Amino acid sequence: MDGLLGVKLGMSQRFTESGAVVPVTVLRVGPCIVIQRKTTETDGYAAVQVGLEGTGRRARRVRAQATRLEAAGATGRVSVLREFRPDEGEAAPVGARFGADVFAPEDRVRVSGVSKGRGFSGVMRRHGFHGGPGSHGSKFHRAPGAIGMCATPSRVLPGTRLPGHYGQDRVTVRNLRVVEVDASRNLVAVRGAVPGPRGGVVEIRKA
């Protein structure tokens, strides 16, 4: 398949042979179990639906979904389901399990996840505004300033950057390089940072 589900464990670092420091994010990839195979004849497209085992609590599900998981042999907790494109050739059978051995060092991947939620934030934190002077009698420090015109068109234009909910969005970081793969423990280290908190579920897809 072109990708799998995983869990972000945190950031660390590795050293090259020349002594250079490489910042990496450690991901626990899988174990992922194939729940369903979708074909062009029956569904209109080809995909493999996988579930991430052993993460979080058992999600509430309808009886039909629980039956599919039991038929696939998912014995552990499966709370996340995603679809991935199969590689060329025969797709993986239902019930097959995959781990970190899907990836190899020097592979290029893109990682998607939900960024950290920061609640209601002002324009300086949310959009990077510089703010006003901090001294000399100034009373304009962290406010957004003027947001519209007093006359024509006499309204706030759509898209104006204002305070509001910040974070908790789906973010994709592209072209990350796989630095290290530990297939025995299902660990993959990728260079750079990936979205989400520690323990967050991410999707790792081959670039």
- Give the model confidence (pLDDT) of 163-191 as tens digits: 999 999 999 999 999 999 998 899 999 99
Average pLDDT over residues 96-112: 90
Q: How far apart are the first and last CA of the chain?
A: 12
Region 23-35: mean pLDDT is: 89
What pLDDT score does 67 carry? 67
> Residue 163: which of 145, 151, 181 has the closest Cα?
145
CATH of 102-134+162-207, one of 3.30.470.20, 2.40.30.10, 3.40.50.300, 3.40.50.2300: 2.40.30.10
Domain extent listing, the chain: 102-134+162-207
- CA-nearest of 2, 81, 1 to 49 is 81
| Beta carbons within 10 angstroms of residue 148's beta carbon | 11
- Record the pTM: 0.79
> Quick one: CA dihedral 95, 90, 113, 161, positive or negative?
negative
